[in-house]
């Protein structure tokens, strides 16, 4: 009978299963004889705990460690090991490390990840460099901020429509200077309504007034005449 011998690709490797409060880390290093020695430890996800993980991996000369991309829990440990010389962290896709059906625990998950890395059965996901990550976070934050502002403006427009104020029908931008001036002069229980709301302002900031263009024609909206400085 033929005996199948599986030769590990990575002799010193590890696997980590990260959670919100703790991380389970499994390492496999050469042991006595031909069998590898496996050890599992639990660490905290606080800064002190992550530093202990790094020191333990450096002490055992772990060259490669794999971890599952779980929410954002992987980022602190990945960035710490990325900056550590001699350790290559791998971010693994959860679809590629599905274990066999059965009882699922964090300890079994980290052991399974460690075995997959040891025999070269998984490949790491792409993680951009630090400069690209910072630029990506900045652009994503700006996109979310612009979307939040648009939602707030739409919410304000719907609120004004519910109260019977047709501000969006007479101005283009309900957050502009003219629209804010009109809203400031709207009736309120604390202040009496003024005799007339202020007229809107043009793009250059000049106050607009009503004046007839020609005799016999209705009045139209036109900029107020400016005085000559020599007069």
CB atoms within 10 A of CB 84: 14
User: Regarding beta strands 13-18 and 22-30, do their DSSP bridges make them parallel or antiparallel, or are they unpaired?
Assistant: antiparallel
pLDDT of residue 204: 56
CB atoms within 10 A of CB 63: 14
Element spanning 131, H or E: helix 130-162
Closest CA to 107 of 48, 44, 23: 23
pLDDT of residue 225: 53
Asked whether the predicted pLDDT for residue 48 surpasses 90, the reply is: yes
The DSSP symbol for 167 reads: G
Length reported for the chain: 231
Give residue limits of the domains in the chain: 13-127, 128-186
The average pLDDT across 58-63 equals 94
**What distance lies between CA 83 and its chain's CA centroid?**
22
Question: What is the per-residue pLDDT across 61-117, written as a single tens digit (0 to 9) for each?
Answer: 999 999 988 888 999 999 999 999 999 999 998 887 776 566 678 888 898 999 899
Asked whether the predicted pLDDT for residue 207 surpasses 50, the reply is: yes
Residue with tokens 């964090």: 106
The average pLDDT across 194-201 equals 55
Question: What is the per-residue pLDDT across 177-195, written as a single tens digit (0 to 9) for each?
Answer: 888 888 887 665 555 455 5
The average pLDDT across 30-51 equals 89
Higher pLDDT, 54 or 31: 54
Question: What is the per-residue pLDDT across 123-171, written as a single tens digit (0 to 9) for each?
Answer: 899 999 999 999 999 999 999 999 999 999 999 999 988 888 888 888 8
Which CA distances in Å does 165 have to 37, 156, 169? 75, 11, 9
The rounded distance, in Å, linking the Cα atoms of 67 and 85 is 18
pLDDT of residue 97: 78
Asked whether the predicted pLDDT for residue 220 surpasses 50, the reply is: no
Which fold would CATH assign to domain 13-127?
Answer: Nucleotidyltransferase; domain 5 (3.30.420)
The rounded distance, in Å, linking the Cα atoms of 6 and 174 is 70
pLDDT of residue 209: 53
Asked whether the predicted pLDDT for residue 222 surpasses 50, the reply is: no
pLDDT of residue 119: 87
């Amino acid at each position: 009978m033929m005996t199948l011998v599986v030769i590990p690709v990575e002799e010193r490797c590890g696997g980590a299963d990260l959670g919100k409060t703790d991380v389970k880390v499994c390492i496999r290093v050469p042991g006595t004889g031909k069998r590898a020695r496996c050890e599992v430890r639990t660490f905290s996800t606080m800064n002190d705990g992550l530093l202990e993980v790094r020191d333990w991996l450096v002490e055992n000369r772990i060259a490669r460690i794999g971890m599952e991309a779980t929410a954002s829990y992987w980022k602190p440990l990945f960035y710490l090991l990325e900056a550590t010389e001699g350790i290559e962290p791998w971010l693994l896709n959860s679809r590629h490390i599905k274990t066999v059906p059965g009882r699922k625990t964090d300890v079994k998950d980290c052991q399974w990840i460690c075995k997959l890395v040891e025999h070269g059965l998984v490949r790491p996901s792409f993680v951009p460099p630090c400069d690209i990550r910072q630029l990506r976070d900045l652009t994503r934050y700006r996109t979310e901020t612009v979307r939040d502002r648009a939602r707030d403006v739409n919410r304000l427009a719907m609120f004004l429509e519910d109260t019977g104020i047709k501000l969006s029908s007479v101005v283009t931008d309900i957050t502009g200077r003219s629209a804010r001036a009109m809203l400031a002069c709207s009736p309120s229980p604390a202040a009496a309504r003024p005799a007339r709301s202020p007229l809107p302002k043009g793009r250059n900031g000049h106050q607009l007034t009503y004046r007839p263009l020609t005799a016999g024609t209705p009045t139209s909206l036109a900029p107020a005449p400016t005085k000559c400085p020599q007069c």
